[in-house]
């Protein structure tokens, strides 16, 4: 969903930019700048770190023991192309976006705070689903003791913050913003 919303905003930004080109409307220019800021913020805080996290975590655990993240039973309901759409194609598309469009990252402290907020919110949502249904969204969590779950959730939050920093460094490298 994050990727779909993000790339939808990218398309909307590009179309708006094309439609307002040559137009002297200050209001349209102001709205376009807001849209570009939203696009850049979503890339920095959500699309890149979450996208890279999903691909690396999903396939790492899948290779180790697929039953921990994607039980074989799901093959009967979710076709392979959709699984790859959710857990593979995210990475090349977000890398292509990073290479083709310069994104202005927020200040590091604001970006990391936003990433942490998202990570903690998502973890709380996963725990809430378990509380209500008695089923963990990710089968891996069934195998972890409560203490290990806390360590796992903390590690996940640290990893996603590292991916935020990797995205910032990669964006600066690609666009050479240090000059």
Tokens encoding 58: 């999903």
C-alpha dihedral sign at 116, 33, 13, 172 = negative
Query: Could you give the CA distance from residue 134 to residue 128 in angstroms, rounded to a whole number?
Result: 9
Q: What is the pLDDT of residue 92?
A: 95
Query: Could you give the CA distance from residue 19 to residue 67 in angstroms, rounded to a whole number?
Result: 48
Using alpha carbons, list the distances in angstroms from residue 135 to 16, 35, 139: 44, 39, 8
Q: What is the pLDDT of residue 138?
A: 92
Structural domain span for residue 3: 1-178
C-alpha dihedral sign at 144, 147, 151, 157 = positive
Residue 170 parent element (H or E):
helix 146-175
Q: What's the domain count of the chain?
A: 1
Q: What is the pLDDT of residue 177?
A: 63
Q: What is the pLDDT of residue 178?
A: 55
In the chain, which residues have pLDDT < 70?
177-179
pTM of the complete model: 0.90
Q: What is the pLDDT of residue 22?
A: 74
Tokens encoding 2: 């994050």
Q: What is the pLDDT of residue 2?
A: 93
């Amino acid at each position: 969903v994050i990727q779909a919303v993000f790339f939808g905003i990218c398309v909307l930004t590009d179309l708006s930019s094309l439609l307002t080109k040559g137009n002297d409307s200050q209001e349209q220019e102001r709205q376009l700048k807001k849209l570009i800021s939203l696009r850049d913020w979503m890339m920095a805080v959500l699309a890149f770190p979450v996208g890279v996290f999903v691909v690396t975590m999903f396939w790492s655990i899948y290779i180790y023991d697929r039953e921990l993240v994607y039980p074989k039973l799901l093959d009967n309901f979710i076709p392979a192309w959709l699984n790859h759409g959710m857990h593979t194609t995210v990475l090349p598309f977000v890398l292509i976006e990073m290479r083709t469009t310069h994104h202005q990252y927020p200040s590091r402290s604001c970006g990391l705070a936003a990433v942490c907020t998202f990570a903690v919110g998502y973890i709380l949502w996963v725990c809430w689903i378990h509380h209500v249904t008695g089923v963990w969204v990710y089968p891996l969590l069934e195998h972890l003791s409560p203490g290990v779950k806390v360590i796992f959730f903390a590690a996940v939050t640290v990893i996603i913050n590292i991916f935020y920093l990797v995205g910032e460094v990669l964006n600066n490298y690609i666009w050479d913003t240090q000059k």
